[in-house]
Structure 1
Amino acid sequence: MALVEINFDGIIGPSHNYAGLSLGNLASAANRGMVARPRAAALQGLAKMRHNLGLGLAQGIFLPHPRPNRVWLESLGATVEDAPDSLRPAAFSASAMWAANAATVSPAPDTIDGRCHLTPANLRTMAHRSHEWPATLAQLRLAFADASHFALHNPVPPAFGDEGAANHMRLAPSHDASGVEIFVYGVSGGAFPARQHVEASRAVARLHGLDPARTLFVAQSEEAIAAGAFHNDVVAVANEHVLFAHEQAFADKETFYAALRGLLPEVEILEVPAAAVSLADAIRSYLFNAQLVTLPEGGMALVLPEEARETPSVWAWLEEMIAGNGPIRRLCVVDVRQSMANGGGPACLRLRIVADPATIDPRFLVDEARLDRLAGIVSARWPKRIAPADLLDPELPPAIEEARRGLCEALDLRELL
């Protein structure tokens, strides 16, 4: 069985809007009330996938969730027509596009039964995301239906907040080798909520059958959360044997680094000092919310948002790093401004899954031709703009629903309608 890393990106949905629903997400709050451009957003996301295909990487997709979420509103005694202002924006939320929060994934080499395990995140901390998991689980059940290779779990009960792979890292000599899984949790973030609960992380590790001796639970620093690092992937990212992190990412980095080196002697820790790049600049530019990937020809590349190049301290550090002899040899800049404005960069848009592509439902995998087809559907059906007042327009919900229906039908995924 040939195990490779596949990045599954969330297609940005036709209800993409800037409602500023995510407390602690500085970009989301700063752009609240602005006019969103769903068509441009989705095309940017597809262009990023096309870019990564061009690097020789395997690429998958997840579909937008049904929006507005009529089922969720009905469970609260409301409808799209009479939903109060306190519920309406959450029902329209397109935040499921950030697939890094879809689930936590443990590849087969790490688990006791030799299968890839997936647990959808409950996302219970934020109302607009707490109703995502049923639609996420429905897609996971289709894409990874082969029970001989995959094990799917229900979300951790909502007493404990779980935000998925955005607070999970894996380090290994190679993707197909046994690795060390790292769960990063929050304790306190000052004015902002710490979204990942340690008990949720421990539950996922048990459900996945991970070796306790090769599983680490690491506290995120309060400074990082308070600065706007609402998920660990805003201040750290890992790939194979490389950990790329900000100096202030973890509460007790020395203990963490020592444990990591003891479990994986070949690990390379590439730390960005606060004196060179402040937490504020790192979070504003989403330096660490990049895709750190292994190239087919060897070496690693960092897929970064345009904002990283536009932040002087960040780009200066990156250029100095590339000029050296470190593990990251290539910088790739992509435009995902519509996603960035709502608080999610290149890494937020994808869920990393190590698996044999032949074991996955092919409807969830893409090539250039399929991306062309998806771009055509988006260009024809996605709204060009959504302003805050448009959420009250009775013509918007059926337009959004029809756009998603067209996508499901084009991909032969009518089970998701």
Structure 2
Amino acid sequence: MTVREANFDGLVGPTHNYAGLSWGNVASNRHARSTSNPRQAALQGLDKMKALVDLGLIQGVLAPQERPDMTTLRRLGFSGSDAEVLDKAFREDPLLLAACCSASAMWTANAATVSPGADTHDGRVHFTPANLVNKFHRSLEHEVTGRILQRVFADETHFCHHPALPAHEDFGDEGAANHTRLHDDHGRGLELFVYGRSAHRPDTPAPQRYPARQTLEASRAVARLHGLQEHNSAFIQQNPDVIDQGVFHNDVIAVGNGNVLFYHQQAFLDPHGMQDEILAKLPDAGLHFIEVSDSEVPVADAVNSYLFNTQLVTLSPGHMALIAPTECAETPSVKAYLDRLTAMSTPIREVRFMDVKQSMQNGGGPACLRLRVAMSDTELSAVNPACLMNDRLHRRLSDWVNRHYRDRLSPNDLRDPALLMESRTALDELTQILELGAVYPFQR
């Protein structure tokens, strides 16, 4: 079966702000309590989507969450009118209010894990929303995320949707940020699940400073749900030491596509064992393992530039491009390495730099912003067409952002009841543009 990869990017929400909620994410902590620009963030994301369409790639868009999350605030005991709830939450627990206003669902690499029909037991594309239990603000997302995915990929003939894993740290699941798929020219795939620790094997190495957000047990559970087998799945441990250097997800230190795995020397606990297993399970793919050494790019430079949080996309057979943030061009060690990389004999032939600075300052690069969905042409034809990016949708959504989004948002603005009404008005219109129906609590 021939499959084509589509990228579904998260549309940045109207409450995009810098609250520094993600311990272990260096960029998020560094910019905490800065003033953000939601309008610019959303437009940067839309321009990236349009740029990929212009490259001939399949590009979709996923709607943001409703924020502030009034349902959660009321569940936690704040009562009265919406304005009173926001004011009480701000005065009593401003960090909690910030969590309930987070626009972090923009990073749809954490939305779900997706297995193409070519790999699964029933031949359908399987989706499991990530429970994201390690961070409270992200643990609020999976229910609406699942609902949105079901409206975009609605045809049960081709798509199968699972609920998120149980909300317990033993099954901490961060979605596609710790999952990638390699394949050969015949479409035979191997899904790589990268985990930070094992909850049920206490002798497994674990980081000491920052949390390991993905467990082995979660990864195995998702593989079982999707009907994967031993021959088309592999479970690889991330290097605990690199997690403690700010690599909170595997996609901050490695990226794969087709027959290429591009990663840092420190990415995996057992890099030789990783290579051996992949070669044994995908022997005819002509694999390229591109390892970047510490001497070429120190981990700190890789994290600050998001060298590996790039999108590795296929433009034509044997010709791949890295979609990289402009920070990669501005970091001397990274820029020098990329110049050498594109001159090597590998499928990575070019690098295209894109400005996603508003996302980068909050801890997410180009790869964080997208969920990869590999589909056959028949499956693609069953996707909600209103969610597929083209020139017309780009113009329409850009106009929508310019009409509804603020160009400045400070932590104090999160208590403003007008922001809630602005967000709801915008999202209500968005669900009509994307033909999603009533996916938000305020619509139901």
Q: Tell me: CA distance 1:380–1:392, structure 2 relative to 1, closer, same or farther (3 Å).
A: same
Could you state the TM-score of these two structures normalised by the residue count of structure 1? 0.97
Give the Cα–Cα distance (whole angstroms) in 1 for the partners of residues 266 and 182 of structure 2: 20
Give the Cα–Cα distance (whole angstroms) in 2 for the partners of residues 126 and 378 of structure 1: 28
User: Which of the numbers 380, 396, 399 marks the counterpart of 2:419?
Assistant: 396
Which region of structure 1 is more displaced relative to structure 2, 382-391 or 25-34?
382-391
Counterpart of 1:367 in structure 2 is 390
Task: Report how far residue 407 of structure 1 moved.
Answer: 1.9
Counterpart of 1:251 in structure 2 is 269
Q: Does 1:193 align with 2:193?
A: no
Counterpart of 1:235 in structure 2 is 253
- Which one-letter code corresponds to 1:205 in the other structure? A
Q: Deviations over 1:371-413 (max 9, x none)?
A: 1100011011111110111112232221222222222233333
Contact 1:56/1:296, CA 8 A, preserved across alignment: no
Counterpart of 1:165 in structure 2 is 176
Which region of structure 1 is more displaced relative to structure 2, 75-84 or 293-302?
75-84
Counterpart of 1:382 in structure 2 is 405
- Which one-letter code corresponds to 1:225 in the other structure? I
User: Which of the numbers 122, 127, 144 marks the counterpart of 1:135?
Assistant: 144
Counterpart of 1:151 in structure 2 is 160
User: Which of the numbers 83, 86, 89 marks the counterpart of 1:80?
Assistant: 86
Which region of structure 1 is more displaced relative to structure 2, 219-228 or 94-103?
219-228
* SS of structure 1 residue aligned to 2:94: coil
Give the Cα–Cα distance (whole angstroms) in 2 for the partners of residues 404 and 80 of structure 1: 19
Which region of structure 1 is more displaced relative to structure 2, 391-400 or 182-191?
391-400
Counterpart of 1:100 in structure 2 is 109
Contact 1:169/1:237, CA 8 A, preserved across alignment: yes
User: Which of the numbers 351, 356, 369 marks the counterpart of 1:336?
Assistant: 356
Give the Cα–Cα distance (whole angstroms) in 2 for the partners of residues 214 and 343 of structure 1: 31
Task: Report how far residue 14 of structure 1 moved.
Answer: 0.4
Q: Deviations over 1:2-40 (max 9, x none)?
A: 631110000000000000000000000000010000000
Give the Cα–Cα distance (whole angstroms) in 1 for the partners of residues 264 and 2 of structure 2: 33
Task: Report how far residue 297 of structure 1 moved.
Answer: 6.2
Give the Cα–Cα distance (whole angstroms) in 1 for the partners of residues 282 and 318 of structure 2: 20
Q: Does 1:62 align with 2:62?
A: yes
* SS of structure 2 residue aligned to 1:325: coil
Give the Cα–Cα distance (whole angstroms) in 2 for the partners of residues 297 and 324 of structure 1: 17
Give the Cα–Cα distance (whole angstroms) in 2 for the partners of residues 85 and 415 of structure 1: 30
Give the Cα–Cα distance (whole angstroms) in 2 for the partners of residues 203 and 295 of structure 1: 33
Q: Does 1:353 align with 2:364?
A: no
Q: Deviations over 1:169-211 (max 9, x none)?
A: 111014x712111110002222111000110000000000001
User: Which of the numbers 401, 408, 411 marks the counterpart of 2:434?
Assistant: 411
RMSD: 1.3
Give the Cα–Cα distance (whole angstroms) in 2 for the partners of residues 114 and 20 of structure 1: 41
Q: Tell me: CA distance 1:112–1:414, structure 2 relative to 1, closer, same or farther (3 Å).
A: closer
Task: Report how far residue 279 of structure 1 moved.
Answer: 0.6
Give the Cα–Cα distance (whole angstroms) in 1 for the partners of residues 428 and 159 of structure 2: 28
- Which one-letter code corresponds to 1:184 in the other structure? V
Task: Report how far residue 298 of structure 1 moved.
Answer: 4.8
Gaps of 5+ in 1: none
Contact 2:14/2:39, CA 8 A, preserved across alignment: yes
Q: Deviations over 1:280-301 (max 9, x none)?
A: 0001100000000001465100
Counterpart of 1:52 in structure 2 is 52
Counterpart of 2:238 in structure 1 is 220
Counterpart of 1:263 in structure 2 is 281
* SS of structure 2 residue aligned to 1:196: coil
Contact 2:110/2:174, CA 8 A, preserved across alignment: yes
Contact 2:2/2:187, CA 8 A, preserved across alignment: no
Q: Deviations over 1:215-254 (max 9, x none)?
A: 1111100121011110000000000110000010001111
Contact 1:57/1:296, CA 8 A, preserved across alignment: no
Give the Cα–Cα distance (whole angstroms) in 2 for the partners of residues 230 and 7 of structure 1: 22
Counterpart of 1:181 in structure 2 is 191
Give the Cα–Cα distance (whole angstroms) in 2 for the partners of residues 86 and 327 of structure 1: 45
How many residue pairs match? The answer is: 416
Give the Cα–Cα distance (whole angstroms) in 2 for the partners of residues 64 and 220 of structure 1: 29
Give the Cα–Cα distance (whole angstroms) in 2 for the partners of residues 395 and 240 of structure 1: 47
Give the Cα–Cα distance (whole angstroms) in 2 for the partners of residues 85 and 169 of structure 1: 37
Question: Within 5 A, what are the aligned runs for 1:272-283?
Answer: 272-283=292-303
Task: Report how far residue 152 of structure 1 moved.
Answer: 0.6
Structure 1 segments, 4+ long, off by >4 Å, are: none
Task: Report how far residue 213 of structure 1 moved.
Answer: 2.6
- Percent identity reads 48
* SS of structure 2 residue aligned to 1:301: strand
Q: Tell me: CA distance 1:144–1:411, structure 2 relative to 1, closer, same or farther (3 Å).
A: closer
Task: Report how far residue 364 of structure 1 moved.
Answer: 1.7
* SS of structure 2 residue aligned to 1:125: coil
Contact 1:26/1:343, CA 8 A, preserved across alignment: yes
- Which one-letter code corresponds to 2:69 in the other structure? N
Q: Deviations over 1:128-170 (max 9, x none)?
A: 1000001100111111111111111011111211000000011
Give the Cα–Cα distance (whole angstroms) in 2 for the partners of residues 9 and 342 of structure 1: 16
* SS of structure 2 residue aligned to 1:303: strand
